[in-house]
A and B are shown apart, each in its own frame.
Chain A
């Protein structure tokens, strides 16, 4: 565990040093604050708290922003060290490859957590102070937690790209392609298939499964499900929400994604020669 902690602390220090942490905090904080303050506008007529509206708005933004941030943090983690030559030295120390992956990943996850807590959390506190209402803070907290989970999956996707790619330029190209596929194209393609195919081909169960295999849809479904009572849904994920996707199914899907990605990263990294 000591080696994992040493590697995680180093990643965090690197993040602080190269301004990654502060940049992400400012980015997330500014967006969150802007959306929360804008969410205060309808407060007077519909009697919905800014935090509750903020969850929907922020989760819609996070689903694009967080995967991109996570991929940018992680794509360089392994291939960058191979390319610069620092991995060669690190591997001559008494540290196993899984410890390197887990250590570096923990450091990056902590950076993401710090940015979410300070960015989104800070914005929420300002919003509460500004509007004088803290109604819906539990949902906001759930949204922050699910954002971290979404970020962790995309960090692992970034690590997988980093373990496979032969050079950094290739890794960043794959990372952007992945972001585009998971975040933008997947849902569009799914919507197209839904419209084109008949009901027998895409049954409710198949549709449900297709939604569960994309981490961004997991996130959307989770946040829409927690807000179902108070806010109307406006995304493809809303349609599956009506198909009784339980919280357990969402958590199991997330867990399966996490374990398979982490195992795959370690397996690929272990097979890579220096």
Chain B
């Protein structure tokens, strides 16, 4: 069970002039959790992260991270071990990769050896003496990740960590994040790339127009959204079609794709019962394909629900 006192955000509102970018945010994150914040561009993800870092102050409400108010005790909080990768990471272009990392390492009282190891772990060791201006976007992103990991922080905030990376590098970055999660670090990832983060998340927070519209484990969100699972049965030609009618109380929709292919949609919790019933009724099943709802579907569901709630088309 996680300790619930790592991050406490209570009734936070953030306004820039008349524009409200965060509306009544309440969020608690315990240590060792890997939380993924999902949302469109402009949903408020980055502002929420900046609040946690003390870079912007809330207009209303309180933020407490590791026992500190980030706006007042930023230095104490950052000394405690916090790593951040911004959405658009930028470095001093005339410095080399090693110089940049060493500069940040000194601010965290880290050593040259740590920099070597980190550059190696993100695959930049060979390019360490090249100026940043010669780095590709992906290389800069990896250097950004390396600086976020300086000082082995307890708490990692990664804003769109795989932007600009090719699929192989994305896998490597997520493997690195997984490793950190397994070491018991708290990781918060902001993303709009849903498919990638599905495997990482202990918990998913969905944001829309400055509000948290869903917050829970993937399982909880699937259950809350009540999205149907699709099961496609390939049946033998001699099966008895009328038997399918007896499934009615368990399924939402039944349709025949062709003479031998039956498509059934039902609640996630009923999928086993449906299959069992089909077997018991003597259907001659050649094959079956189960399509679980994806995080994309859950995300779309909650965003749509929120839009309906606020009366948007």
Contacts and interface: CB of A to CB of B under 8 A. Distances in A.
Contacts of A17: 94-95
A89 B147 contact: yes
Contacts of A84: 90
A2 B106 CA distance: 8
Nearest to A92: B84
Contacts of B103: 6, 10
Given A91-B55, A92-B78, A273-B55, A14 B88 contact: no
A92 B107 CA distance: 10
B190 interface: no
A14 B92 contact: yes
Interface in A1-52: 2-3, 6, 10, 14, 17-18
B104 A273 contact: no
A92 B74 CA distance: 9
A10 B101 CA distance: 12
A93 B53 CA distance: 10
Contacts, number: 59
Interface string A67-105: 000000000000000001110110111111000000000
A197 interface: no
A10 B78 CA distance: 21
B44 interface: no
Nearest to A83: B90
B179 interface: no
Interface in A109-125: none
Contact of B56 (A86, A93, A94, A274): A274
B75 interface: yes
Contacts of B90: 84-86, 88-89
Contact of B57 (A2, A89, A92, A273): A273
B82 A92 contact: yes
Q: Which of A84, A93, A96 counts the most B-chain CB atoms under 10 A from its CB?
A: A93
B91 interface: yes
Given A14-B92, A17-B94, A274-B50, A89 B84 contact: yes
Interface in A122-169: none
Contacts of A96: 74-75
Contacts of A3: 107
B108 interface: yes
A93 B103 CA distance: 11
A106 B294 CA distance: 55
Contacts of B50: 274
A93 B104 contact: yes
A94 B78 contact: yes
Q: Which of B56, B84, B107 counts the most A-chain CB atoms under 10 A from its CB?
A: B107
A91 B50 CA distance: 10
Contact of A94 (B55, B92, B95, B107): B107
B109 interface: yes
A273 B89 contact: no
Contact of A2 (B74, B92, B109, B144): B109
B198 to A, nearest CB: 27
Nearest to B90: A85
The 5 closest A-B pairs by CB, nearest first: A85-B90, A92-B84, A94-B78, A94-B79, A93-B107
29 contacts: A2-B106, A2-B109, A3-B107, A6-B103, A6-B107, A14-B92, A14-B94, A17-B94, A18-B94, A85-B90, A86-B92, A88-B90, A89-B84, A89-B89, A89-B91, A89-B144, A89-B147, A91-B55, A92-B84, A93-B78, A93-B107, A94-B78, A94-B79, A95-B75, A95-B107, A273-B56, A273-B57, A274-B50, A274-B56
Given A10-B103, A84-B90, A86-B91, 13 more contacts: A2-B106, A3-B107, A14-B92, A85-B88, A85-B90, A86-B90, A89-B84, A89-B86, A92-B53, A94-B75, A94-B78, A96-B75, A274-B50
